[in-house]
Chains A and B, each alone.
Chain A
Amino acid sequence: MRYNIAMVSDFFYPQPGGIESHIYQLSSKLISLGHSVIIITHAHGSRVGVRYLTHGLKVYYVPFYVLYRESTFPSVFSFFPILRNILIREEIEIVHGHGSLSSLCLEAILHSRTMGLRTVFTDHSLFGFADPGSILGNKLLKFTLSDIGHVICVSHTCKENTVLRASLDPVTVSVIPNAVVASNFRPDPSKASSEYITIIVISRLYPNKGADLLTAVIPNICKIHPTVRFIIAGSGPREIDLEQMREKFQLQERVELVGSIRHEDVRDVMVKGHIYLHPTLTEAFGTVLVEAASCGLLVVTTKVGGIPEVLPSHMTIFSSPSEDSLTQSTLEAIKLIESKAVDTSKFHEQVKGMYGWHDVARRTENVYDIVAKIDNEPVIDRLKRYYGCGIWAGKLFVMCVVIDYLLLRFLEWLYPESGIDRVRKWPRRPIDKSLLAGENSESAKIESEDEDSGLGGTTATA
């Protein structure tokens, strides 16, 4: 079954980021599986209208007012007319939204359900339950996801979080991790120094990314190990603390701050190191960990969020989010590298078998198959779902949905479906069978791998 899919999110290129590259990679792999995919996002500056990317991936940049950190103004209804036009034009069957902070995505899911389309939502991040921002965000998420077809989360921890936040039935939530383009993260042992042990940190320097832990840990390690150097990429409000620490302990020679780097350059920084240090306090998945392991780095990370699920134990050293524990774990990693007790040269091949975008696209395809089978229920049952969202919120949400239906009727009268041109689809390439077969055999190998078998990633028993 081939579908016409619309990916909707506030987060898309040209702005850099994890969700952005996820959407791009997933879309292009879905296209190579034979689906037709478009992306709908808000306009970035002068980039307004329709653009084409590789393989005929079409992007609609809809002009919208950007409110905060690339999220559009939550206007609830104003997106409906243009969205309906695009969805009809492109004969969309499945609307797939990304990112729970994207109001564009949440609105699109609401309107698509009103139009009777199938919907999928991917959650990329973790949220708490206590602070006012989260409470409001969770209520909105609950509203939007009351009538969702299926939800995808990037890790099991993320699934637990989303199920609680939006009061979902866990069966309607699938876990499909992020992936990396392994060929972009090839190791290059010749780039790393043989005299020094180099520790790489690539992280935005925010408190929730563990920048304070990092500032505390570096002097401890430099004091114990005179042959250790640090390369820190990324910027943020805590950058100044790092600079002050560097001056206070006179580590200018040994701690290099390279500032924020583009995603394309991450690999070139990573291959200079032996160890990747990740001091974060919250993380849904941690793609950067997979990238680091793929570059052949031993990963030292705090055991928070979905991180424990991401990499096998022989590639990672876990620590608790405390200064002492993180120092100990890093020292342990340095010892392992110095004594060559761990063979990082095999990491790349192993990671390549674990995470691939083809695999993600195929699993996402399964989700599309599930939602395509769901029949649309009568409007009254849909309203009942929204009514259950809360004593006051439930009534408000029902009102919003009813207005949405009236708006749809009005739009059907104003811009009749017959008056909207249908686009010609980009010519489809035949599916590359050999590529898919290759992926299959790799995943079969991994299936039989045991977590505790150390370096036994290549033993195939299936």
Chain B
Amino acid sequence: MPRRPWRKLLWVHQPYPDNYVDASFLSQLKRNLHVQQYSFWALSSDSTVIISHVYSVAIFVCVFVAIYKDKYNPAWFASIGSICTLVGYFAWDGLGEENTTSRTATAKSAILIVSTLLGLSPVLKSLTQSTSSDSIWAISFWLFVLNIFFHDYSIGSKKTFNSPFCQVWLNRSSFPPTLSTNLAIAAATVLASRLSTTLSVFSFLLFSIELFGLFPIFSRWLRSYSFVAHLILTSILAVVTEVGMFYIGGWWALSVWSVAILSAVFVAPGWLIALQKYKNEIQGPWDPAKPVLRSR
């Protein structure tokens, strides 16, 4: 009597050993079913979102070094920052962003913050007098690293990027956006406490609030408004940063910085795409099913 073909059933006792391996073994295995293909230029342009924030941090560090070495009048930076902030505010206000707060209220809170800073500056100046400078450099470095990692790179509800990388990033960013702002302000506060005069502390903190509190709102809005405008802004930031790098570290700093940025924009996406060949996602009947529910 010929043997019946083996069937993938448990309730029927089949004339096969328990460790029998049928030809159909693992036939339901599927690989890389949901893997999305990345495009180089989409990844590259998305990387500018992160790069532009790194630029802000770099500009901030340059400004600190400039003030710390007493090379420049700190009021200059505060003034330039404030002018840029005003320009940005009117652009944001004028181009039809729906505002929840009135202009008077905004002006009031701005004045309040500036006067608070003015009052606190002498206190902040002596905040870390008993701490060595090395500790301050170390703590501010780690705070900035964390700030870059936890920064909210999403663009809000208006428009989303089509590239998968940003989608993944958006889905993962479950930490509150205020976290990165707080980290940056903390870093600015400890750095400010190294400065020598009350005026420089005040100017530096004002600049930091403009750069880390207000500028991200503006750049996020600009990105959702037009991606080309975002690229233009990033280019301006790039030029400013490179000039700053050159002033604080000379040709050497400038070249290292440029190589790092270029590799982040052009090499890293290529690397990510090259690594895709190692992707090995396995799907099969053992995976938990996704329930399909009618929305009500």
- The chain A residues found within 8 Å of chain B, CB to CB, are 126-130, 150, 155-158, 160-161, 163-164, 170-177, 208, 210, 212-213, 216, 281-282, 284-285, 302, 304-306, 308-312, 320-325, 354-355, 359, 363, 366-367, 370, 443, 446-447, 449, 451
Contact = CB atoms under 8 A, between A and B. Distances in A.
Given A128-B286, A321-B290, A321-B292, A451 B18 contact: no
B13 A443 contact: yes
A128 B7 CA distance: 25
Contact of A160 (B13, B14, B286): B286
B289 A447 contact: no
Nearest to A129: B282
- Interface residue tally of chain B, by bracket? 20 to 34
A349 to B, nearest CB: 13
Contacts of A156: 8, 10
Interface in B1-26: 7-15, 17-19, 21, 25-26
Interface of B: 7-15, 17-19, 21, 25-26, 28-29, 281-282, 284-294
Contacts, number: 119
A309 B11 contact: yes
Nearest to B283: A129
B6 to A, nearest CB: 10
Given A156-B8, A443-B13, A212 B281 contact: no
Nearest to A170: B21
Contacts of B25: 160, 170
B10 A155 contact: yes
A138 to B, nearest CB: 11
6 contacts: A304-B289, A305-B285, A309-B8, A309-B9, A310-B10, A323-B291
B284 A161 contact: yes
Contact of B294 (A160, A216, A354): A216
Contacts of B10: 155-156, 175, 177, 285, 306, 309-310
Contacts of A174: 17-19
Contacts of A158: 286
B286 A305 contact: yes
Which 10 A-B residue pairings sit nearest by Cβ, starting from the closest? A322-B292, A174-B18, A161-B286, A321-B289, A282-B288, A126-B286, A174-B19, A177-B10, A354-B11, A170-B21
Contact of A282 (B19, B287, B294): B287
Contact of A213 (B21, B29, B288, B293): B293
Given A156-B8, A281-B288, 18 more contacts: A129-B282, A130-B281, A155-B10, A157-B285, A163-B26, A171-B21, A172-B19, A174-B17, A174-B18, A176-B18, A210-B291, A212-B293, A213-B293, A302-B289, A306-B285, A309-B9, A322-B292, A446-B11
B210 to A, nearest CB: 40
- Give the most central of B7, B19, B25, B292: most A CB within 10 Å: B19
A302 B26 CA distance: 21
A447 B11 CA distance: 9
A326 to B, nearest CB: 9
Contact of A451 (B12, B15, B293): B12
A344 to B, nearest CB: 16
A445 B94 CA distance: 85
A128 B289 CA distance: 11
B13 A367 contact: no
A323 B282 contact: no
A282 B284 CA distance: 12
- Give the most central of B29, B281, B285, B293: most A CB within 10 Å: B285
Nearest to A163: B26
Contacts of A310: 10-11
Given A212-B293, A216-B294, A309-B11, A304 B285 contact: yes
Contacts of A155: 10
Contact of B282 (A164, A175, A213, A370): A164
B282 A447 contact: no
Contact of B293 (A285, A323, A354, A447): A323
Contact of A321 (B15, B19, B291): B291
A310 B9 CA distance: 7
A363 B286 contact: no
B289 A282 contact: yes
Contacts of A443: 13
A129 B285 contact: no
A367 B292 CA distance: 41
A322 B291 contact: yes
Contact of A311 (B11, B13, B26, B291): B11
B12 to A, nearest CB: 6
B12 A446 contact: yes
A50 to B, nearest CB: 33
Given A161-B286, A282-B289, A324-B294, A363 B18 contact: yes
Given A212-B291, A282-B289, A321-B289, A160 B18 contact: no
B18 A447 contact: no
B287 A160 contact: no
Nearest to B285: A157
Contacts of B26: 160, 163-164
B9 A451 contact: yes
A132 to B, nearest CB: 13
Nearest to B6: A156
B12 A128 contact: no
Contacts of A213: 291, 293
Contacts of B9: 309, 451
- Give the most central of B25, B281, B286: most A CB within 10 Å: B286
Nearest to A354: B11
Nearest to A304: B289
Contacts of A163: 26
A213 B8 CA distance: 27
Given A281-B289, A321-B289, A160 B19 contact: no
B18 A366 contact: yes
A213 B291 CA distance: 7
Contacts of B11: 309-312, 354-355, 446
A281 B13 contact: no
Contacts of B286: 126-128, 157-158, 160-161, 282, 284, 305
Contacts of B29: 160, 164
A454 to B, nearest CB: 14
Nearest to B289: A321
A128 B15 contact: no
Contacts of B292: 320-325
